[in-house]
C-alpha cells in the first residue's frame, strides 16, 4: 500500500503543471500576507484620523451654548407666574453643572463628567452611601484616587451578582484599589463601570457571555477594541491583539488556495489515468482495483494534511518576518457557557487550520468522486472547482431565504473554522453538526468513487 | 504433457445487446507461443481484457496457472505480464521511472532485474529519457519490458508488432520464442496478420464474431495449405502452341467429366501461363511436359503454385472475410 501511495506521489509531482500549481499556492499565500500587512498599516493611519476627528467635537463651546439656552429658559420661567419652583430649581442646577464643567475644564471623557451631573445636578441624595459634599471635594481637586478609595470604602458590602461567572469581580472599586488603578484614563475604569451595569441586566446567553468575557479581560488587563464590543467577540487572548496575532490568525483563510490545489490533484489522480490510457497498465498488476483507488484517496488526504502543515509553517515564518513575533506566546481564551477555556494562540490558529483542512478534504473527496467518473482530467478539475465555488453561493442564498434544509448541504458545513467562530450560515449550527455532516458526505463521495472505479470496464 | 497456463471455459460477454464473445473455451499450455488470430472486431482484445481483469466476466471462467481471475485477482495477476492495445506509459516520466512504477507494484523485482530487462529489449541508451520523446516502437519495447519485468508465467501481448521496425519485430519474435521454448512461459499473442503469426507461433486459435473456429498448430496449417497444390505456372517460348497441346492432353485423359471441369488455362502473355489441373493428374505431369518438349515448346521454367495462401485460409475460415466489422 505504501508503495502504491509512493507511486501516486511520484506521478503527481513529476508533472510540470502540478509543480506550477504548488508554486502558485505559495506565491499567492505570500501575496495575501503582504496585503494583510498593507491593510494593517492603512488601518493604523485611519485610526489616527478618527482620533483627530474626535478631538474637535463638543467641549467648552457646547457647554457655553447650553448655559446660554438654559439661562433664557430660566428667564422665561421667572416671567411666567404659573411656573413652579421645582422646574426653576432644576434649570438652575443644570446651569450650575455646565458652569462647573466650564470652570474645571471637564471634557466628556473625563472621569468627573458624569459625577458632576450626579453631585451638582441631582436634587435628592439618591445614593445613600455617598455624601455629596465629600465627592464634591474629590471633584474640585480632581482626585481620582481619593474618589476610588472613598467609593471602595462606602460600597464595601456591595457585591455584583453574576449568572454563570462565580469568580468574577465582586466590587469594582475594591478591585481598583487592590490593583492600584488610580489613573482615570486606564481603560479598565470605563470597562469596570460597563461591567457593573451589564452584570445587573445580563439575561440572555449572549449577554452572560459578554459579561464573562469582559470580566476576563479586566482581570487579565486585555484591552478590547471597539470592534470587539460591536461584534460581541467572545474569544480573547491574554494580551491585546498584536499584528502577529492578527496576521497569523487571518492566515488560516489562505487554506482556500490549498482547497483549489487539492481539487486539482483529486481531478488529476484518477481521470488522468483514463485520459492518458495508463489505466490499462495500472490495473494489469497484481494489485486489486480496490487497493489502487484507496491508495489514490489516501494520497489526496495525506496531501491535504501535508499541504496544511506546510502552509501553517510557511505562513508562520512569513508572519514572523512581516509582523514581528510580538504576541507569539499569547494565550487564547474562548468564552462559552461552560466557562472559559484557554490554549496558546498558536495552537488555536493550528486548530483553525485543521478545521479548514477538514473542509479541504471534503471538497477533495467530492472532486475525487467526480474524477472517477469524468472521461477527461480537465472536466474533472473544472467541475470540482465550479461546484466548490457555486456551492457556497447556494448555501448563502438558501440561508438568506430561510430554507432550513440547506444546513444539510455539504457547502453549508465546510467552513468549520468560521462555524467555530459563530459564523455559520444557519443558527445553532454547531461544529459537531457540521463535522458529522461533512463526514457523512465524505463517506458517500468515497463510496461513489470506490464503486465507480472497481466496477468500471476499461 | 505441458501444464495448462490459461484455461478459458464457456466465456461469454455482451456490451449492451451486442453479444461479443460467444461461449469461448480454450486451453493454453506453458512453453508455447499461442497466436490469437481474428479479423478486427472478432473479440480478441475483449477476451484478453477479460483475462487481465479490465472487463468483468459475464459468464464462464478464466484460470491463470490454476487461479481463477475473478476469485483471486491479485494471485492470478502475479503470473501475468501484459500489453493491451497501445503501450501507453506515463509520458512525463522517464522510461526508467515508468518501470520503477510497475516494479513497486510487483513482488521481487530488483534493480538488477530492471536493468536486465531494459538491456533485453534494447532500450539501455534511451531509458533515462522522458517517454514523450519515444517513438511508438520504443514505447512498444518499453511495454514489453514492463510486461516481462516480474518474470511472469503467462505473457499476453495484444498486437505487439504495432509500430515496430522489421528489426524490432525480429527481435521481439526472438525474445518471445526464447521465453516460451527455453523458460517455459506461455505467450499469448493476438494479431490480425497471419503472416506474422506464421513466423512466431506454435499454435494458432482463430476467432471470428466471438466464436473460436479452430485451434491448429502452424505445422498442420502449412501442411493443409500445401497438400492440394494443383496450379502450375509455366514459362515457355510459345504460349499459344502450348495451349493447343495442353487442351488436347487434358481432353484425352481417362478421368471423369466432373474432374475435367476443374481444368483452367490462363494465358498471361506470349511466354507465361498457368494451368489448374484436376488433382489426380498432378503426379503425372511429366507426361505432359514431355509432350510439350517434343512439340518444340521450350520449357524455361515450371513452378507449382500454392493456390491458397495461409491468408486465404484465414479469410475463408473467418467467413465474411472482413467485409464488415463484426
The β-bridge partners of B303 are: B233
Q: Please report the pLDDT score of residue B166 as a whole number.
A: 86
Please, what sign has the CA dihedral across residues A301, A307, A310, A313?
Answer: negative
Q: Please report the pLDDT score of residue B82 as a whole number.
A: 92
Report which listed range, B99-113, B185-199, B222-236, is most confident. B99-113
Q: Please report the pLDDT score of residue B92 as a whole number.
A: 92
Mutation target to probe the B interface, by most B beta carbons within 10 A, among A3, A281, A451 is A281
In tens, the pLDDT along A255-280 reads 888 999 999 999 889 989 988 889 99
Distance (Å, rounded) from C-alpha A214 to C-alpha A193?
Answer: 11
Distance (Å, rounded) from C-alpha A168 to C-alpha A175?
Answer: 11
Which one, of A225, A304, A236, lies nearest residue A264 by Cα?
A: A304
DSSP for residue B130: B
Q: Which of A4, A15, A458 sits opposite B105 (nearest CB)?
A: A4
C-alpha cell at A419: 462555524
Q: Which of B49, B92, B104 sits opposite A6 (nearest CB)?
A: B104
Of A190-194, A284-288, B144-148, B223-227, which gets the smallest average pLDDT? B223-227
Domain boundary among B171, B201, B225: B225
Distance (Å, rounded) from C-alpha B71 to C-alpha B62?
Answer: 10
Please, what sign has the CA dihedral across residues A438, A443, A446, A448?
Answer: negative
CATH number assigned to the domain comprising residue B171: 3.40.50.300
C-alpha cell at A75: 428667564
When pLDDT is averaged across residues B69-83 and rounded to a whole number, the result is 91
Kindly state whether residues B114 and B235 are assigned to the same domain: no
- Is pLDDT at B222 greater than 80 in this prediction? no
Q: Please report the pLDDT score of residue A47 as a whole number.
A: 47
Kindly state whether residues B259 and B172 are assigned to the same domain: no
Kindly state whether residues B201 and B240 are assigned to the same domain: no
- Is pLDDT at A286 greater than 50 in this prediction? yes
- Is pLDDT at A440 greater than 90 in this prediction? yes
Kindly state whether residues B142 and B269 are assigned to the same domain: no
Kindly state whether residues B30 and B150 are assigned to the same domain: yes
C-alpha cell at A250: 487571518
Please name the helix (run of DSSP H) or strand (run of DSSP E) that holds residue B259, with its range, or none: helix B257-260
| Under 8 Å between Cβ of A326 and A242 | yes
Distance (Å, rounded) from C-alpha A123 to C-alpha A263?
Answer: 73
Residue B311 lies in a domain: no
Residue of B nearest to A18 (CA): B92
| Under 8 Å between Cβ of B33 and B200 | yes
Residue B23 lies in a domain: yes
Please, what sign has the CA dihedral across residues B314, B318, B319, B323?
Answer: negative
DSSP string of A91-113?
Answer: HHHHHHHHHHHHHHT--TTSTHH
Domain boundary among B188, B205, B225: B225
CA distance B105 to chain A (A): 7
Q: Please report the pLDDT score of residue A119 as a whole number.
A: 78
In tens, the pLDDT along A402-423 reads 888 888 888 888 887 777 776 6
- Give B75's contacts in chain A (Cβ within 8 Å): 286
Q: What angle is formed at CA B142 by the lines to CA B164 and CA B153, rounded to 5 degrees? A: 100
C-alpha cell at B32: 508455447
Q: What is the mean pLDDT of chain B?
A: 85
Kindly state whether residues B176 and B235 are assigned to the same domain: no
- Is pLDDT at B321 greater than 60 in this prediction? no
Kindly state whether residues B28 and B157 are assigned to the same domain: yes
- Give A284's contacts in chain B (Cβ within 8 Å): 52-54, 77, 80, 82, 84
Domain boundary among B225, B253, B279: B225
| Under 8 Å between Cβ of A394 and A412 | no
Q: What is the mean pLDDT of chain A?
A: 81
Q: Please report the pLDDT score of residue B163 as a whole number.
A: 77
Of A30-39, A238-247, B283-292, which gets the smallest average pLDDT? A238-247
Q: Are residues A284 and B54, on separate chains, in Cβ contact within 8 Å?
A: yes
Please, what sign has the CA dihedral across residues B234, B239, B245, B248?
Answer: positive
Residue B186 lies in a domain: yes
Q: Please report the pLDDT score of residue A418 as a whole number.
A: 78
Q: What angle is formed at CA A36 by the lines to CA A35 and CA A39, rounded to 5 degrees? A: 85
Q: Are residues B55 and A283, on separate chains, in Cβ contact within 8 Å?
A: no
Q: Please report the pLDDT score of residue B306 as a whole number.
A: 65
Q: Are residues B106 and A288, on separate chains, in Cβ contact within 8 Å?
A: no
- Residue range(s) defining the domain that contains residue B135: 4-225
- Is pLDDT at A54 greater than 50 in this prediction? no
pLDDT band at B319 (very low <50, low <70, confident <90, very high): low
Q: Please report the pLDDT score of residue A7 as a whole number.
A: 92
Residue B316 lies in a domain: no
pLDDT band at A53 (very low <50, low <70, confident <90, very high): very low
| Under 8 Å between Cβ of A330 and A232 | no
Q: Please report the pLDDT score of residue B224 as a whole number.
A: 67
**Interface predicted TM-score (ipTM) of this complex, two decimals:** 0.78
Residue B324 lies in a domain: no
| Three-class secondary structure of residue B266 per DSSP | strand
Q: Please report the pLDDT score of residue A105 as a whole number.
A: 78
Q: Please report the pLDDT score of residue A239 as a whole number.
A: 66
Q: A391 Cβ partners below 8 Å, 6+ apart?
A: A409, A410, A411, A414
| DSSP count for chain B of H helices, then E strands | 12, 14
In tens, the pLDDT along A371-388 reads 888 878 888 888 888 888
Question: For chain A, how big is the Rg over CA atoms in Å?
Answer: 32
DSSP for residue B94: B
Q: Please report the pLDDT score of residue A38 as a whole number.
A: 83
| Under 8 Å between Cβ of A416 and A306 | no
- Is pLDDT at A2 greater than 50 in this prediction? yes
pLDDT band at A456 (very low <50, low <70, confident <90, very high): confident
Mutation target to probe the A interface, by most A beta carbons within 10 A, among B50, B58, B62, B104 is B104
B321 or A223: whose pLDDT is higher? A223
A31, with CB counted inside 10 A (0-12, 13-18, 19+), is exposed
Distance (Å, rounded) from C-alpha A358 to C-alpha A415?
Answer: 9
Q: Please report the pLDDT score of residue A225 as a whole number.
A: 64
pLDDT band at B79 (very low <50, low <70, confident <90, very high): very high
- Give B78's contacts in chain A (Cβ within 8 Å): 286
CA distance A332 to chain B (A): 47
A131 or A296: whose pLDDT is higher? A296
Residue B238 lies in a domain: yes
Kindly state whether residues B35 and B181 are assigned to the same domain: yes
Q: C-alpha dihedral over B286, B287, B288, B291, to 10 degrees?
A: 120
Residue B314 lies in a domain: no
Kindly state whether residues B135 and B256 are assigned to the same domain: no
CA distance A451 to chain B (A): 14
User: Based on the structure, what is the number of domains in chain B?
Assistant: 2
Report which listed range, A69-83, A118-132, B86-100, is most confident. B86-100
In tens, the pLDDT along B147-162 reads 999 999 999 998 887 7
The β-bridge partners of B11 are: B24
Please name the helix (run of DSSP H) or strand (run of DSSP E) that holds residue B29, with its range, or none: strand B18-29
Q: A313 Cβ partners below 8 Å, 6+ apart?
A: none
Q: Please report the pLDDT score of residue B227 as a whole number.
A: 57
Q: Please report the pLDDT score of residue A48 as a whole number.
A: 44
CA distance B235 to chain A (A): 55
> Strand pairing of B231-236 and B272-276?
antiparallel
C-alpha cell at B130: 522522458
Q: Are residues B88 and A280, on separate chains, in Cβ contact within 8 Å?
A: yes
Distance (Å, rounded) from C-alpha A274 to C-alpha A296?
Answer: 14
Q: Please report the pLDDT score of residue A254 as a whole number.
A: 86
Residue B322 lies in a domain: no
In tens, the pLDDT along B285-307 reads 888 888 888 888 888 888 877 65
Kindly state whether residues B162 and B214 are assigned to the same domain: yes
Kindly state whether residues B143 and B272 are assigned to the same domain: no
Kindly state whether residues B89 and B165 are assigned to the same domain: yes
Q: Which of B74, B88, B89 sits opposite A288 (nearest CB)?
A: B74
In tens, the pLDDT along A181-197 reads 787 777 788 888 888 88
Amino acid at each position: 500500500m505504501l508503495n502504491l501511495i509512493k507511486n501516486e506521489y511520484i506521478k503527481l509531482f513529476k508533472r510540470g503543471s502540478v509543480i506550477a500549481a504548488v508554486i502558485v499556492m505559495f506565491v499567492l499565500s505570500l501575496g495575501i500576507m503582504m496585503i494583510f500587512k498593507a491593510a494593517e498599516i492603512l488601518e493604523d493611519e485611519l485610526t489616527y484620523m478618527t482620533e483627530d476627528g474626535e478631538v474637535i467635537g463638543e467641549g467648552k463651546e457646547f457647554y457655553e451654548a447650553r448655559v446660554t439656552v438654559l439661562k433664557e429658559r430660566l428667564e422665561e420661567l421667572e416671567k411666567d407666574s404659573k411656573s413652579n419652583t421645582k422646574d426653576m430649581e432644576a434649570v438652575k442646577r443644570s446651569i450650575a453643572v455646565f458652569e462647573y464643567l466650564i470652570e474645571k475644564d471637564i471634557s466628556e471623557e473625563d472621569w468627573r463628567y458624569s459625577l458632576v451631573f450626579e453631585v451638582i445636578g441631582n436634587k435628592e441624595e439618591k445614593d445613600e452611601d455617598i455624601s455629596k459634599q465629600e465627592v464634591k471635594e474629590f471633584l474640585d481637586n480632581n482626585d481620582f484616587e481619593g474618589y476610588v478609595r472613598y467609593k471602595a470604602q462606602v460600597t464595601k458590602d456591595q457585591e455584583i451578582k453574576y449568572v454563570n461567572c462565580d469568580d468574577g469581580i465582586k466590587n469594582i472599586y475594591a478591585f481598583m484599589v487592590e490593583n492600584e488603578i488610580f489613573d482615570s484614563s486606564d481603560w479598565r475604569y470605563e470597562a469596570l463601570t460597563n461591567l457593573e451595569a451589564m452584570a445587573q441586566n445580563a439575561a440572555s446567553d449572549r449577554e452572560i457571555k459578554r459579561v464573562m468575557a469582559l470580566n476576563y479581560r479586566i482581570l487579565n488587563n486585555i484591552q478590547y477594541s471597539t470592534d470587539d464590543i460591536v461584534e460581541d467577540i467572545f474569544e480573547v487572548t491574554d494580551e491585546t491583539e498584536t499584528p502577529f496575532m492578527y496576521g497569523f490568525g487571518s492566515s488560516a483563510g489562505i487554506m482556500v488556495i490549498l482547497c483549489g490545489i487539492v481539487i486539482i490533484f483529486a481531478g488529476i489522480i484518477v481521470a488522468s489515468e483514463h485520459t492518458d490510457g495508463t489505466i490499462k497498465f495500472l490495473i494489469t498488476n497484481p494489485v486489486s482495483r480496490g487497493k489502487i483507488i484507496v491508495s489514490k484517496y489516501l494520497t489526496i488526504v495525506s496531501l491535504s494534511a501535508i499541504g496544511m502543515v506546510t502552509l501553517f509553517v510557511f505562513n508562520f515564518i512569513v508572519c514572523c518576518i512581516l509582523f514581528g513575533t510580538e504576541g507569539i506566546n499569547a494565550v487564547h481564551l474562548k468564552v462559552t457557557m461552560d466557562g472559559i477555556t484557554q490554549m496558546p494562540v498558536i495552537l488555536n490558529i493550528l486548530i483553525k487550520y485543521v478545521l479548514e483542512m477538514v473542509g479541504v478534504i471534503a471538497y477533495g473527496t467530492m472532486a475525487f468522486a467526480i474524477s472517477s467518473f469524468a472521461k477527461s482530467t480537465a472536466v474533472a478539475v473544472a467541475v470540482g472547482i465550479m461546484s466548490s465555488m457555486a456551492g457556497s453561493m447556494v448555501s448563502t442564498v438558501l440561508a438568506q431565504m430561510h430554507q432550513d434544509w440547506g444546513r444539510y448541504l455539504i457547502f453549508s458545513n465546510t467552513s468549520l473554522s468560521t462555524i467555530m467562530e459563530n459564523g455559520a450560515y444557519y443558527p445553532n449550527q454547531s461544529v459537531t453538526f457540521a463535522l458529522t455532516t461533512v463526514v457523512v458526505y465524505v463517506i458517500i463521495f468515497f463510496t461513489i468513487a470506490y464503486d465507480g472505479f472497481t466496477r468500471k470496464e476499461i | 504433457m505441458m501444464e495448462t497456463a490459461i484455461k478459458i471455459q464457456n466465456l461469454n460477454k455482451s456490451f449492451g445487446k451486442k453479444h461479443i464473445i460467444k461461449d469461448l473455451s480454450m486451453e493454453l499450455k506453458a512453453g508455447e507461443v499461442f497466436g490469437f488470430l481474428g479479423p478486427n472486431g472478432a473479440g480478441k482484445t475483449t477476451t484478453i481484457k477479460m483475462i487481465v481483469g479490465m472487463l468483468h466476466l459475464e459468464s464462464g471462467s478464466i484460470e491463470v496457472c490454476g487461479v481463477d481471475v475473478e476469485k483471486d485477482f491479485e494471485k492470478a495477476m502475479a503470473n501475468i505480464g501484459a500489453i493491451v492495445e497501445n503501450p501507453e506509459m506515463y509520458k512525463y516520466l522517464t522510461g526508467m521511472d515508468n518501470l520503477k512504477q510497475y516494479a513497486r507494484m510487483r513482488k521481487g523485482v530488483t534493480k538488477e532485474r530492471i536493468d536486465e530487462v531494459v538491456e533485453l529489449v534494447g532500450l539501455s541508451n534511451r531509458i533515462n529519457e522522458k517517454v514523450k520523446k519515444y517513438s511508438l516502437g520504443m514505447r512498444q519495447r518499453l511495454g514489453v519490458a514492463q510486461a516481462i519485468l516480474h518474470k511472469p508465467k503467462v505473457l499476453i501481448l495484444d498486437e505487439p508488432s504495432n509500430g515496430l521496425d522489421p528489426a524490432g519485430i525480429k527481435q521481439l519474435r526472438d525474445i518471445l520464442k526464447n521465453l516460451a521454448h527455453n523458460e517455459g512461459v506461455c505467450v499469448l499473442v493476438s494479431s490480425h496478420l497471419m503472416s506474422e503469426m506464421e513466423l512466431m507461433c506454435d499454435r494458432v486459435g482463430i476467432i471470428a464474431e466471438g466464436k473460436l473456429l479452430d485451434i491448429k498448430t502452424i505445422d498442420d496449417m502449412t501442411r493443409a495449405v500445401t497438400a492440394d497444390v494443383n496450379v502450375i505456372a509455366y514459362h515457355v517460348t510459345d504460349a499459344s502452341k502450348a495451349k493447343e497441346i495442353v487442351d488436347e492432353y487434358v481432353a484425352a485423359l481417362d478421368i471423369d467429366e466432373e474432374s475435367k471441369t476443374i481444368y483452367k488455362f490462363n494465358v498471361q502473355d506470349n511466354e507465361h501461363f498457368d494451368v489448374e489441373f484436376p488433382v489426380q493428374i498432378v503426379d503425372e505431369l511429366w507426361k505432359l511436359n514431355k509432350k510439350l518438349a517434343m512439340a518444340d515448346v521450350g520449357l524455361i521454367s515450371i513452378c507449382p503454385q500454392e493456390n491458397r495462401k495461409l491468408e486465404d485460409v484465414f479469410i475463408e475460415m473467418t467467413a465474411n472475410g472482413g467485409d464488415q466489422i463484426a
